């Protein structure tokens, strides 16, 4: 093959002992073919579509498999490259795999659930937690020799995972359960229908024989998960449905693929009959405004605009009612909100399915509406159920729902970070915690030591391991700088003393991934560990180094103790003396 000749002839290869060619300006295909993982990572991070095909009809994964670059293939797979058998691209990758190791890798990823963003994954779970939907999927899985998804796991957690649908479609007598807001967000057709004909319907029956159940199912599944999976035979029906639903960009892509499939016969393996052939499309292949986060963002913006704000809430109920009335007048139906959340002085219009899918707290809360006090908590003249959240500012809540709807977090103010940590732990939104931490890290590089102490305490409290690690690292590496900072010494006093447990105090470095890491323990113990990593002498002298650290810490604490009593005496000379007198 001429490709291989290319590599051999490259002058760099002759000079370098590293056998791999570097392609600093190559595209994703070249990088995959050359196994240049640095370039590949850069390209993937910059948002290139992993499942795009080049002019030879090949995807990047195909080249990586063909050339046997395991690391590159793995990177592609982790970024969502499709490798399922019975798809055009997947088949070719399996077929082209250089050796058994590559095939094994492909197999391993095939069995995995598709890599989806937190938003897509949680909405997909909600969709599949609906009984009718999971039943169909199970049936599909039973037909195919290899399991498509870990679909069976949904059966077990059905009751806990379940969030009831608000509309059921019957196509050819079979049900699909769905949520209005998701469909409306993704398709102008559904939006219009839900505002008019289907406004109060819980059940919609399609009587047209032509409409195929599998096609509609795959489209609605796509609406939730940004991932289309359809058998090739159903693609023509899908194009028709897309046209009706006004899903322009998806329709174009599927049409293009249809043409492709027509001529693809000779390129694919022959031993599979057509009914099993599938086509998989990741949302990444669509223009950004047609993906799930953008669609939900539009809904969110309308809802936010409708969310009332003002001092009215404080004054009288009459005022509030009139306000609500006026809002209803000005077409607040637009946002399809089905729940209100009252935070601070603002009422937010939200959608139960989004809140429940993203946060188990809200799922539990919404499902217990009738069991607890809140069930009766309807606002006068207000048609929507209303929740109330305390101890949270409306700014933080707005940021939080922005994240819940779109998976993105724009300009977080460091001042806000603490509250966001609080909100994300309280509402069990653990991905949000990581997102805030990521946004915060660049800021931390510039803060003075005193402030870093503050962040350490915070991150320990809220369990933000990334920030916690960062702070501990910074402290261990610049221990003397911190030792001179009064805030650091004061912090030492507020922390629980290092554990006296001798098993924990061993100076031998722990194996990576050992349990010490999983259970975040005592802050000072961890700091000691870090310090030993950074400063300590060779292995046989670690005990001495540790002793040194312990002594240094003890001394600092004494200083802190002294400072504290000095401070107290200075700040509250009267109060201390009064205590003495009382005694």
Interface residues with another protein (CB under 8 A)?
360-361, 364-365, 368, 370-376, 387-391, 393, 413, 415, 418-419, 422, 425-426, 428, 450-451, 453-454, 457-458, 461-463, 487, 490-491, 494
Half-sphere exposure of 213 toward its Cβ, with a 13 Å CA cutoff?
Answer: 17
Nearer to another protein, 221 or 358 (CB): 358
Q: Report the nearest approach of another protein to the CB of residue 457 (Å).
A: 5
415-426 as b/e, with b when 16 or more CB fall inside 10 Å?
ebbbbbbbbbbe
Nearer to another protein, 393 or 478 (CB): 393
Nearer to another protein, 544 or 567 (CB): 567
Q: Report the nearest approach of another protein to the CB of residue 308 (Å).
A: 20
Nearer to another protein, 230 or 456 (CB): 456
Give kind and range of the element (H or E) at residue 74: helix 70-78
DSSP 48: -
Give kind and range of the element (H or E) at residue 206: strand 203-206
Measured CA to CA, the distance from residue 386 to residue 374 in angstroms comes to: 8
Nearer to another protein, 203 or 391 (CB): 391
Per the CB < 8 A criterion, the answer to whether 216 and 241 are in contact is yes
Nearer to another protein, 323 or 557 (CB): 557
Which CA distances in Å does 463 have to 61, 422, 453? 37, 10, 15
SS (H, E, C) 349-395: EECHHHHHHHCHHHHHHHHCCCCCHHHHCCCCCCCCCEEEECCCCHH
Half-sphere exposure of 296 toward its Cβ, with a 13 Å CA cutoff?
Answer: 25
- Separate counts of helices (H) and strands (E) for the chain: 32, 9
Q: Report the nearest approach of another protein to the CB of residue 93 (Å).
A: 38
Which CA distances in Å does 168 have to 138, 139, 237, 364? 19, 19, 20, 23
Nearer to another protein, 264 or 313 (CB): 313
Nearer to another protein, 398 or 487 (CB): 487
Q: Report the nearest approach of another protein to the CB of residue 162 (Å).
A: 13
Nearer to another protein, 85 or 419 (CB): 419
Q: Report the nearest approach of another protein to the CB of residue 16 (Å).
A: 49
Transcribe 82-147 into DSSP letters: ---TTBHHHHHHHHH-SSHHHHHHHHHHHSSPP---HHHHHHHHHHHHSHHHHHHHHHHHHHSSS-
Per the CB < 8 A criterion, the answer to whether 284 and 50 are in contact is yes
Nearer to another protein, 462 or 531 (CB): 462
Q: Which residues pair with 169 in a beta bridge?
A: 176, 204
Q: Report the nearest approach of another protein to the CB of residue 443 (Å).
A: 13
Q: Report the nearest approach of another protein to the CB of residue 355 (Å).
A: 13
For the record, the structure tokens of 484 come out as: 């001179």
Q: Taking Cα atoms as reference points, which of 360, 419, 368, 351 lies closest to residue 391?
A: 419
Per the CB < 8 A criterion, the answer to whether 172 and 213 are in contact is yes
Q: Taking Cα atoms as reference points, which of 100, 81, 99, 98 lies closest to residue 90?
A: 81
Per the CB < 8 A criterion, the answer to whether 453 and 491 are in contact is yes
Q: Report the nearest approach of another protein to the CB of residue 388 (Å).
A: 6
Q: Report the nearest approach of another protein to the CB of residue 84 (Å).
A: 30
Nearer to another protein, 379 or 428 (CB): 428
Q: Report the nearest approach of another protein to the CB of residue 437 (Å).
A: 16
Q: Report the nearest approach of another protein to the CB of residue 530 (Å).
A: 20
């Amino acid at each position: 093959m001429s490709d291989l000749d290319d590599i051999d002839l490259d002058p760099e290869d002759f000079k370098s002992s590293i056998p791999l060619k570097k392609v600093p300006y190559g595209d994703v295909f070249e990088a995959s073919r050359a196994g240049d993982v640095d370039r590949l990572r850069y390209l993937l991070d910059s948002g290139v579509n992993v499942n795009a095909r080049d002019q030879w009809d090949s995807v990047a994964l195909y080249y990586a498999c063909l050339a046997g670059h395991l690391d590159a293939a793995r990177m592609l797979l982790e970024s969502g490259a499709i490798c399922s058998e019975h798809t055009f691209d997947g088949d070719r990758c399996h077929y082209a795999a250089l050796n058994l190791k590559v095939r094994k890798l492909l197999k391993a990823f095939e069995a995995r659930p598709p890599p989806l963003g937190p938003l897509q994954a949680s909405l997909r779970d909600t969709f599949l937690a609906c009984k009718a939907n999971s039943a169909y999927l199970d049936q599909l899985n039973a037909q195919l020799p290899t399991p498509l998804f870990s679909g069976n796991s949904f059966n077990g957690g059905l009751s806990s995972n379940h969030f009831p649908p608000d509309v059921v479609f019957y196509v050819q007598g079979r049900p699909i359960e769905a949520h209005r807001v998701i469909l409306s967000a993704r398709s102008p057709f559904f939006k219009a229908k839900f505002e008019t004909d289907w406004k109060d319907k819980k059940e919609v029956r399609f009587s047209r024989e032509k409409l195929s159940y599998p096609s509609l199912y795959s489209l609605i599944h796509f609406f939730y998960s940004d991932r289309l999976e359809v058998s090739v035979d159903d693609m023509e029906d899908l194009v028709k449905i897309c046209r009706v639903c006004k899903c322009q960009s998806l329709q174009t892509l599927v049409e293009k693929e249809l043409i492709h499939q027509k001529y693809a016969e000779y390129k694919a393996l022959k031993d599979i009959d057509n009914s099993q052939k599938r086509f998989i499309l990741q949302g990444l292949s669509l223009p950004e405004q047609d993906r799930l986060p953008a669609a939900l963002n539009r809904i969110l913006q309308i809802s936010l605009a409708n969310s009332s704000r003002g001092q009215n809430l404080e004054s009288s109920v009459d005022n509030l009612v009139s306000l609500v009335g006026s809002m209803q007048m000005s077409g607040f139906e637009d946002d399809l909100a089905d729940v209100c959340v009252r935070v601070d002085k603002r009422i937010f219009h939200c959608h139960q399915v989004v809140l429940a899918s993203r946060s188990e707290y809200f799922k539990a809360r919404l499902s217990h509406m009738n069991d607890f006090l809140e069930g009766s908590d309807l606002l006068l003249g207000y048609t929507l159920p209303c929740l109330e959240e305390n101890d949270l500012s409306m700014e933080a809540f707005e940021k939080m729902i922005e994240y819940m709807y779109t998976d993105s977090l724009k300009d977080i103010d460091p001042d806000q970070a603490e509250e966001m940590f609080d909100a994300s732990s309280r509402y069990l939104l653990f991905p949000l915690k990581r997102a805030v931490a990521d946004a915060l890290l660049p800021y931390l590089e510039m803060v003075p030591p005193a402030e870093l102490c503050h962040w350490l305490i915070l991150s320990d409290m809220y369990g933000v391991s990334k920030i916690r690690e960062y702070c501990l690292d910074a402290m261990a590496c610049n221990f003397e700088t911190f030792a001179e900072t009064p805030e650091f010494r004061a912090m030492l006093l507020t922390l629980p003393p290092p554990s006296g447990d001798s098993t924990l105090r061993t100076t031998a470095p722990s194996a990576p991934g050992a349990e010490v890491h999983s259970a975040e323990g005592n802050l000072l113990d961890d700091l000691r560990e870090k310090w030993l990593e950074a400063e300590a002498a060779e292995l046989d002298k670690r005990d001495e180094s540790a002793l040194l650290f312990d002594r240094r810490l003890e001394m600092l604490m004494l200083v802190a103790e002294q400072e504290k009593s000095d401070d107290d005496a200075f700040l509250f000379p009267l109060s201390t003396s009064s205590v003495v007198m009382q005694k």
